[in-house]
Amino acid sequence: MQYIVLPIIGGFIATIGITTVLWLIDKSGWTRADMVRAVGSFFTKSYENSLKIGLAVHFAAGILISGVYLHILSLLQLNNAVLLTGMGGLLGFVHGFIVSFGIVIFAEHHPVKQFKEADFQVALAHLLGHIVYGLILGLFFAVLQKLGVDLSPAF
């Protein structure tokens, strides 16, 4: 049960975090970082009606991926909140590096014009967002551990 409920809760919270960071970056005008609309418009082929499907896919992915993060953190068997949070951030860095690299490489194939180009700033924005996602999951794991929740590895 914990391998289902905890990733749902942690993934939901962490996805709010990454979504907020990317939304703030996008709204600041620094670079285009609207991952929700980019994901949604990939499916709808239209920017205008991309928000709902983008949110659904983005949150589903965030919840599923959080299970991987939480499993890795459980395998490490760290008993220190700072180390757990930092390791979550490191996992977020690795995840963000891979995603950012993919965004830059595959952006030209996006069906919506405003997402067809991704430069270093776009990659950096997504890297930062994923680091926040990982930090939140690391902190979530540390809080659960402090509360005495059984966090032994799933396998």
Range of the domain at 16: 2-146
Q: Tell me: the pLDDT tens digits for 69-124?
A: 999 999 999 999 999 999 999 999 999 999 999 999 999 999 999 999 999 999 99
154 occurs within a structural domain: no
**153 in any annotated domain:** no
Residue 47 covered by a domain: yes
In a domain, 89, yes or no: yes
Res 1 pLDDT > 70: no
In-domain check, residue 155: no
Element housing 6 (H / E): helix 2-28
Residue 135 resides in a domain: yes
In order of 30, 62, 64, 95, 105, the CA distances from 50 in angstroms are: 22, 18, 21, 24, 22
Question: How many domains does the structure of the chain reveal?
Answer: 1
